[in-house]
């Protein structure tokens, strides 16, 4: 008997609370909201340690998740994932994060890799025990000289940077659909810029 297929999970890292809503560190949540709107997934409802919107993305059972833990504890949401029958993290999980190594308006799908100093990814990798899981990195711009990274990612982007990020998020909504249907390689080939 074949294992039951689990829904595609798009895990969008960010910090809970209105004070963080418009910060660089929460651009993945901006994408989560656009995905829920575009694919008519409904409201995010609290389930355990996350807000979850479920439904169909490109006719595939899917869920978009916003962890309700702070960024550096994002991995807690994935505890026990290895015990879920039919779940394949290389096929069924996409982690979405902000990235200071990419300029606003840029993004990268990757099949795996290091945390690159990102505390949310460090937390996930500690729980999963691997660096090999699909991710989507959304550029928020490099830290200016004289600034601390934590202060930079917890600040609001300029109007120009916000516009570039939102334009890219509009494209990424469709790119997540590519990932859901065709996988990480197709998303990389068609959507990395």
Tell me if 138 sits within 8 A of 98, measured CB to CB: yes
**Residue 148: its H or E element:** none
Four-CA torsion 138, 144, 150, 152, nearest 10 degrees: -60
Nearest-angstrom CA–CA distance, 145 and 142: 9
Biggest alpha carbon distance in the chain? 59
Nearest-angstrom CA–CA distance, 112 and 56: 25
Crossing angle for the helix pair 159-182 and 27-38, nearest 10 degrees? 60
The one catalytic residue in 8, 25, 135, 168 is: 25
Bridging pattern class, strands 93-99 and 135-139:
parallel
| Residue 147 annotated in active site | no
Residues labelled catalytic = 25
């Amino acid at each position: 008997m074949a294992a039951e297929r689990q829904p595609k999970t798009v895990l969008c890292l960010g910090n809970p609370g209105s004070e963080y809503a418009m910060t660089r560190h929460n651009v993945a949540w901006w994408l989560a909201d656009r995905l829920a709107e575009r694919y008519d997934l409904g409201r995010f409802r609290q389930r355990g340690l996350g807000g979850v919107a479920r439904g169909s993305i490109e006719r595939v059972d899917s869920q978009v998740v916003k962890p309700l833990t702070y960024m550096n504890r994002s991995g807690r949401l994935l505890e026990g994932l290895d015990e879920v029958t039919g779940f394949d993290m290389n096929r069924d999980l996409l982690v979405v994060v902000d990235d200071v190594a990419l300029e606003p308006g840029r993004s990268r799908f990757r099949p795996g890799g290091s945390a690159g100093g990102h505390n949310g990814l460090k937390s996930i990798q500690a729980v999963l025990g691997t660096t090999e899981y699909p991710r989507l990195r959304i550029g928020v711009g490099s830290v200016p000289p004289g600034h601390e990274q934590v202060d930079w990612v917890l600040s609001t982007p300029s109007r120009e940077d916000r516009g570039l990020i939102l334009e890219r998020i509009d494209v990424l909504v469709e790119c997540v659909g590519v990932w859901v249907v065709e996988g990480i390689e197709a998303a990389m080939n068609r959507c990395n810029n």
